[in-house]
Each structure stands twice: as C-alpha cells, then as structure tokens.
Amino acid sequence: MISVNETGFLPSAVKLAISDSPGSFRLIDDTEGKPIDIGVAVIDSGFDETAGCEVYRLDFSGVSAPGIYHLESDDGICSAAFKVEPHVYKTLKNSLLKSFYFQRCGCGLQEEYAGCYKRPRCHINPVRILGSEKTLTVHGGWHDAGDYGRYASAGAVTVAHMLYAYELFPEAFTDRVNIPESGNGLPDILNECRYELDFLSELQDEDGGVHHKVTTLQFCGFVMPEADLAEQVMFPVTSMSTADFAAVMCIASRVYAGYDPDFARNCIHQAYLAGQWLLQNPENTDFHNPEGCNTGEYTDDSDIDERMWAYAELLRTDTDTMPEERHHINPMSSQSDSRQDSYLANLSAGLELYLKEHDHSDGRSEDDGFGWQDVSCLAAAAVIFDPENHAGEELRNKMSDMLLERANAFVSMQEDGYPVSMKKQDFVWGSNMVVSNRADILILASIALRKKAEKTGEDIRALTLDIELYEEAALNQMHYILGMNAMNISYVTGFGENAFKDPHNRVTIADDIERPIPGMVSGGSCIQLLDEEIKKIADDSTPAQKCYFDHHLSYSTNEIAIYWNSSFLFVTAYFDR
C-alpha cells in the first residue's frame, strides 16, 4: 500500500508518501500517462506501532511542476492520484467553511446555496427550561455534529478557531462560499460565525451565566432535522460554557468592531457579564446529564483552562482599547482598573495551577489545548498575540514557553514511522481533531516566532529553520488527514479518491442522497472501541491508526463535528493564505 495526501501538495513543499513495503518507486504524470524523471527517495522509517507495519517514507519533493500525479512501485502498487499546484488547498478550505452552512439550525437551506442538500427549516418550536415549565425561543446556531444538539462550549470553541484564524491571517478568507450573506461586505467566514454567535448570545442569563446546551432529552433517530419534533430543552448554566462564552465574545467584539460596531459593543458587554459571573462563581460546575437524558455531555472535570482563556481574553479586550463609547454600557467602567486587576490575578493563578496539573511527569502524551475539553492554547493565543500585551512580559513568556514546548514535542513525535505527531494513547474519540489541533499549535508557534522577530528586530534567518520545521510538521499532520495514513483513506468527504463516504451524520443517513455533504471531517480512529460497530472489525490488537470504520453506525470513529472542521479549517486556510 502507498498512502498519500490525496488532495495534493504545494509546488515548493516537501512531498512525502508512505509505503508499507520496500522497493523502488516512480512518479507518474497522469496527464501524460507516463513516468517523469524525478527521483523518489526511499527512507526506511522503522516499525510504526500505531500503523502496525514497517514504514518507508517516499520523498518526491523534486517535483514542482503543476499537474496530477500518482506513485507506482516496481511491483505495480499504485497510490491515489494527487495534485501539485499553487493554492492546491483552496477548494478544500472553502468547502470546509461552507460545511457550516449545511449545519445551520432554525433556517431552511435554499437550493440556491445548498443545491441538492436543500431542506426546510428545523427546530423552531419554543424550548423548555429544564426543571420548569417556562419556555423561551432560541434562534439558529449550528447542529453540533451528526446529531442536532446545540452545545455552548463546542460552538464557542468552533467560532474561536475561525475568528483567531481570521485575526491572524485574514488574507486567507477573501473568497465567497455562496451562502445567503455572501457579498454583504463581510467576509463569509464572519458571516458564518455570526450565525452561531447570535445563537450563543441567547444562552446567557441576566446574571451573566451561560446555559450548557439546547437539545432534545434523547438523541433522535436517523431522521432529517425538520422531522426531529421532540421537545427541545435548555440545560443549566455551567462555568465551562460561561467561560468559553466570555472568551469568544471578546474575540468577536474585536473582529466585528469595524464591520458592525453595535454588535461588537453587545459582544463585549455580554463577555463582561459572563466575566462577572465567573468572578462571583469560582466553583467548577462539571456538567453531567440528568436522569433520562443521553445527548452530548461535554463534561470537564476542570474549568481552570476555560477560566484562564476567559480572563486572558477579558484582560485583553474588556479595556479602554475598545471604542470609548462602549463603556457607557458598562456602569463599572470607572472601575475598569480593578476589573483588570482581578482578570490578571485570576489568569496568573489559573496558569500556575494548570501548569502544575499538566506537567506530563505521568508520561501522558502532550496536550494540544486547542479542543473543546482543554482550551489552554486558546488562552495562550489570546495572550501571545495581544498587541498591547495586557498580561505583561512574564505571563506572555510563560504562555509562549508552553506553546513552544508543545510544538517542539510535536516535531519530535513525527521523527519515526508515519510523520504524524501521535502516540498510541492519543487516538481517542475525535483523534483527527487531535492531529489537526497539533498542526494548529505548530502554526501558532511559527507565527509567534515570526512576530517575535518582527518585534525584536531579531534576524528572521536565525529563526527560519525552526519556522520551517514547524510548518513542515503542520503539513505532515494535514497529509495524514488527507490520505497519508494506515487506513489509506481521506478523512474529508469529497476530497480524494479514497475519501470516506458513510459518516455518522443524521442528514446524510436520512436524505436519500448517495453522496455525503462534502467538506466534512471524520472523527477518525479511536482505540477505546466505544460503539458496537467498530467492535465488529477491531479489537485490542488492532493498530491505533486502524481502529476506524467508515460506517454510519460507528459514531465514535466516523461522526463529523463542527469543531473538527474548524480545527482543520485553521490549518488548511493557513496554507492557502
């Protein structure tokens, strides 16, 4: 087997594929239908426990001419085809972004924008507040994944991935992706995130607390969204949701300030209220489903990282750096200094506690801190890329150290076997997000080094080697998701000859359309074997990369989710800016 990134490579990038057997290999130009005179170097990379085989890296970086190619061994084994061209990831980037439109709840998807995936509006009935008969109406937001639940933390982290990407490399988001708001003066990534932000803002109580989720009590069957008519319930306020909400509303207030000042002012006001709630409610409200409820829990036994992220963003954003008139809605504005002090004190204490709890002396694999459960590197991004450095030099250095330590660990983890920065224990539910998050961290490290050089005037050439190492490692994680893996499968619907086809996605299961909605990322291999379907084809002896089943019933290995897509959009957009 020869596995390769089935979308393709940028012309000047290092180009690798993986063979599970030795031999000699040729590069075939599929347009000409014949081999080209480019050497394919074979490097024995040793036995890879996560793949369960010897791994031979095939380096064909010598090709740079735009075209369509595939690799062939001397005994006739062929890889999937792939492209080499500038902007080879543009279509993928735009499809990953468009996928959020297909997750929209509360509106109909019109044929003009959704094509054959058009559908009527869904989940428009009033929502009951758990434990009472009171109802309220909530609007919009994205369905979380293959289910139709709407979850505050998952939504907030998803939007944060996208808004941080936009803040750090806006040039990657100039294309329109044909959604109803296209052409309204905002980039479509901001139009799409606004759809979720407007929903999130309806989850906040007057005291600033944010409700954990809006779902039915039980997962519905494999029906279309508009046929899911069971009562929707709003679950209690949690500290995790309130903290994630505070953080993402701060980012939104910055990013939308130039486009919609009223909306931006409301975002920072809601963030400020959430921040006040956090200061007044210091206990973690680790959520667990009540009796009779089986929808997504998004439990977290610690909210230290979420609070760290909230305080980092509030420290950076809930200050006078915002338009002066904003303070009129913050009666506490004359006390903004004392607010600043409390954010800074809590951020500093939170980081100290977090670092103590995550010292990895127990041999656990590295955290990435860019997902829904551990948001520590979202907090790091808030501090490191704050142009005003509100957190101060010492805290910023600690955050940079944490980020760079992880990036360096991810670089070294790809030295043998598959160049993917994963140990066996990292193949958890949503392991493709772990891979993608590690690419995101590598990119953040690269950006941080560039910005440091710009700021200090340090000769960028001294940092170039590190920057190139980080970016090459980030691309290797991307290659894994797009096909260079032991399953020889592309984990993004519609992208690659061997793209996965049968996601655990209720819309795809129920819509009677053969092709799955494109641009959706599969959760990927999970060694915990957490559903009955995967247990039919995998057991404890199955290599970590192969605990995967392209079957709609395997929800623990083959679901799709908004924060898996946003994490991968971050890395794809970076390489198509």
Question: Which residues are near ligand 9MR by CB under 6 A?
Answer: 145-147, 219, 294, 296, 555, 559
550 catalytic per annotation: yes
Among the listed residues 225, 417, 494, 524, the single contact to Zn ion using CB under 5 A: 225
- Residue among 6 and 368 whose Cβ is closer to ligand G3I: 368
- Residue among 495 and 564 whose Cβ is closer to ligand 9MR: 564
Residues 423-462 that bind ligand G3I (CB under 6 A): 428-430
- Residue among 25 and 564 whose Cβ is closer to ligand 9MR: 564
Q: Given the residues 358, 504, 551, 552, select the one marked as catalytic.
A: 504
Beta strand pairing call for 82-84 and 53-59: unpaired
CB of 296 to ligand G3I, least distance (A): 3
Q: What is the 3-state secondary structure (H, E, C) of 163-195?
A: HHHHHHCHHHCCCCCCCCCCCCCCCHHHHHHHH
* Stretch near ligand G3I under the rule CB under 6 A, chosen from 22-30, 146-154, 310-318, 323-331: 146-154
- Residue among 373 and 376 whose Cβ is closer to ligand G3I: 373
* Stretch near ligand G3I under the rule CB under 6 A, chosen from 144-152, 267-275, 350-358, 454-462: 144-152
Q: Is 518 in the site for Zn ion (CB under 5 A)?
A: no
260 catalytic per annotation: no
DSSP 8-state code for residue 13: S
User: Helix, strand, coil proportions of the chain in percent (round to 5)?
Assistant: 45, 15, 45
CA dist 320 and 332 (Å) reads 12
- Residue among 429 and 568 whose Cβ is closer to ligand 9MR: 429
Give the Å distances, CA to CA, from 264 to 104, 187, 201, 558.
Answer: 22, 16, 12, 37
Q: Return the structure tokens found at 171.
A: 């040039």
Is residue 147 exposed (0-12), middle (13-18) or buried (19+ Cβ within 10 Å)?
A: buried
Q: Given the residues 72, 144, 147, 313, select the one marked as catalytic.
A: 147
Residues 204-223 that bind ligand G3I (CB under 6 A): none
Q: What is the 3-state secondary structure (H, E, C) of 316-349?
A: HHCCCCCCHHHHHHCHHHHHHHHHHHHHHHHHHH
CA dist 524 and 534 (Å) reads 11
- From 130, 387, 382, select the one nearest 235 (Cα to Cα): 130
504 catalytic per annotation: yes
Phi and psi based region of residue 298 (left: phi greater than 0; alpha: psi -120 to 50; beta: remaining)? left
What b/e sequence results for 58-78 when a residue is b if at least 16 CB atoms lie within 10 Å of its CB, and e otherwise? bebeebeeebebbbbbeeeee
CA dist 112 and 488 (Å) reads 35
CB of 401 to ligand 9MR, least distance (A): 35
559 catalytic per annotation: yes
Cβ-based neighbours of 284, under 8 Å, separated by 6 or more: 239, 240, 300, 301, 302, 303
Residues 370-429 that bind ligand G3I (CB under 6 A): 373, 428-429
| Partner interacting with residue 82 (select from ligand 9MR, Zn ion, ligand G3I, none; CB below 5-8 Å by kind) | none
CA dist 80 and 61 (Å) reads 17
Contact track, Zn ion, 93-132, x by CB under 5 A: ------------x----------------xx---------
CA dist 521 and 153 (Å) reads 19
- Residue among 202 and 260 whose Cβ is closer to Zn ion: 202
| Partner interacting with residue 397 (select from Zn ion, ligand 9MR, ligand G3I, none; CB below 5-8 Å by kind) | none
Number of residues in contact with ligand G3I under rule CB under 6 A: 15
Closest chain position to ligand G3I (CB): 296
Q: Is 204 helix (H, G, I), strand (E, B) or coil?
A: strand
DSSP 8-state code for residue 534: G
| Partner interacting with residue 306 (select from ligand 9MR, Zn ion, ligand G3I, none; CB below 5-8 Å by kind) | none
| Partner interacting with residue 428 (select from ligand G3I, Zn ion, ligand 9MR, none; CB below 5-8 Å by kind) | ligand G3I
CB of 240 to ligand G3I, least distance (A): 13
Is residue 517 exposed (0-12), middle (13-18) or buried (19+ Cβ within 10 Å)?
A: buried
CB of 244 to Zn ion, least distance (A): 21
| Partner interacting with residue 219 (select from ligand 9MR, ligand G3I, Zn ion, none; CB below 5-8 Å by kind) | ligand 9MR
Closest chain position to ligand 9MR (CB): 147
CB of 71 to Zn ion, least distance (A): 44
Q: Given the residues 181, 202, 497, 550, select the one marked as catalytic.
A: 550
- From 507, 493, 515, select the one nearest 105 (Cα to Cα): 507
Q: Is 488 in the site for ligand G3I (CB under 6 A)?
A: no
CB of 505 to ligand 9MR, least distance (A): 9
Among the listed residues 145, 278, 384, 422, the single contact to ligand G3I using CB under 6 A: 145
Q: Is 559 in the site for ligand G3I (CB under 6 A)?
A: yes
User: What is the H or E stretch that residue 393 is in?
Assistant: helix 393-412
Cβ 481 vs Cβ 437: under 8 Å: no
Q: Which residue has the tokens 């075939």?
A: 28
CA dist 264 and 253 (Å) reads 4
Catalytic residue annotation:
147, 504, 550, 559
Binding interface with ligand G3I (CB under 6 A):
144-147, 149, 296-297, 373, 428-430, 523, 555, 559, 561
